[in-house]
Homo-oligomer: A and B are copies of this chain.
């Protein structure tokens, strides 16, 4: 998605440790016009799919998922919550997720009321790096017996193993920008064609 790549090149900041800061437009301050274009693009990419729900994870996935859902006939958005405790009880599906960015582990939970075996679920998230969050969401959808239609990712770090890992499971992943390399000294960002 050319508009997104231009925005990343203009306003993204490469930090040490393979961190790409895009908080000026994607995940702290939000460019809502860009979100709208992102939502349209996800619809274009998954236009051949029946989608009954969109699943994402708090916090930065929520806005993208809600705007995207508007292009999928306003299907419900369910967002997984992060819980510090692993003692969840019977009302939730849960999966343990390690965060690359924050260097910690969360239990990710979704109420059993909001996903069921008849659902065809599109996952939406802002980043795909090591695939931990996405893997957790796929795990939860599996627990519910629902179908994963695919995963729509805004920025994939192509030099980290998540994309290969998830695609290797037979999951369709559509990333709007895949970064092949970035350099925190020069600030250079190279996209996959």
A residues sitting closer than 8 Å to B (CB atoms) are 23-24, 28-33, 35-36, 58-60, 62-63, 65-67, 69-70, 74-79, 81, 110-111, 113-114
A36 to B71, CA, bound (A): 12
Pair B74/A111 contact, Cβ less than 8 Å = no
B33 & A59 in contact (Cβ 8 Å cutoff)? no
Copies of the chain in the assembly: 2
What's the minimum C-beta distance from A4 to chain B, rounded to whole angstroms? 16
How far is B59's CA from A79's CA once the two chains are assembled, in angstroms?
A: 10
Given pairs A30-B66, A30-B69, 7 additional interface contacts (CB within 8 A): A36-B70, A58-B59, A62-B66, A63-B65, A63-B79, A67-B67, A67-B70
B111 touches A28 (CB 8 A): yes
What residues of B have a CB within 8 angstroms of the CB of A77 in the complex? Answer: 29-30, 32, 63
**In the bound complex, CA of A77 to CA of B28 (Å):** 8
B76:A29 contact, CB within 8 angstroms: yes
